[in-house]
Amino acid sequence: MPLVIKRTIAFAAALAAAFAAAPALAHPHVWVDAKAEVVFDGKGEITAIRNIWRFDDAYSAFASQGLDTNGDGKLSVDELKPLADINVDSLKDYAYFTFITAADGEDVDFDKPTEYWLQDDGGRLILFFTLPTKAPVKAAGSTRLEIYDPTLFVAFRMIDDKDGPIVFDGAPKGCAAKTFRPPDMDPATAAALAAIPLDQRELPPALQLLTEGQTNGADIACP
């Protein structure tokens, strides 16, 4: 496994290394289609988020190089496990790009993932991982779930499929989720992002202020 993957963020590192010589690249460098399952316990409180992230073709192709160990032209879950281990271990340094604000305005802390794996979906990698909350979160009122990278090194986008981007598991009757996505970025901000070197992950403070609204997620309302 390339050392660069081990010492940088989970799924962005490999792509960054692959295209370090390409001056046209800009923030963001990795694109992720995201879906989330919100898990409730028997008391109607939120106890975990199951993230489902589908990576872009370029990252998937580069990150999976050399992992087809049996040479059958397919990537099994077992063959992808070393990359999954590195991804999930590294993600903890970035709060797993997953944030919950409870109805009382408090930020929710997570424990490390309890289960995770990568699988190949027609040449695109999908990362599945369950992120338990350190304590159950009361769902009464409005709870905000956000999935994003504050530095925009990775661009997340909540997907639409037959079940919608947010799915409930065991939610009390009457709970609903209102999904939100980042607005289109104005040309000046996009140009400023394009000028940031590939090896600079953090955004300048002024630009960080301009990109703060680039979040994905849902407002979860329960009776």
Query: What are the start-end ranges of the E strands in 56-114?
Result: 98-101
How do beta strands 141-147 and 124-138 pair? unpaired
Query: What are the start-end ranges of the E strands in the chain?
Result: 30-40, 45-55, 98-101, 115-121, 124-138, 141-147, 154-158, 166-169, 176-180, 217-222
pTM above 0.85, yes or no: no
DSSP H stretches of helix in 92-142:
none
For the chain, how many helices (H) and strands (E)?
Answer: 6, 10
Q: What is the pLDDT along the chain (223 residues), one digit of tens a residue?
A: 333 333 334 444 544 443 333 333 456 778 899 999 999 999 999 999 999 999 999 889 888 888 999 989 899 999 999 999 988 988 988 899 999 999 999 999 999 999 999 999 999 999 999 999 999 999 888 999 999 988 778 889 998 777 789 999 999 999 999 999 887 777 777 777 767 766 666 777 766 655 667 788 999 999 8
Strand partners, 177: 220
Residue range 3-222 in CATH 2.60.40: no
CB 84 within 8 A of CB 10: no
User: Residue 20: its pLDDT value, please?
Assistant: 36
Instruction: Write down the domain spans for the chain.
Output: 3-222
Please state the separation of Cα 88 from the chain's center in Å: 11
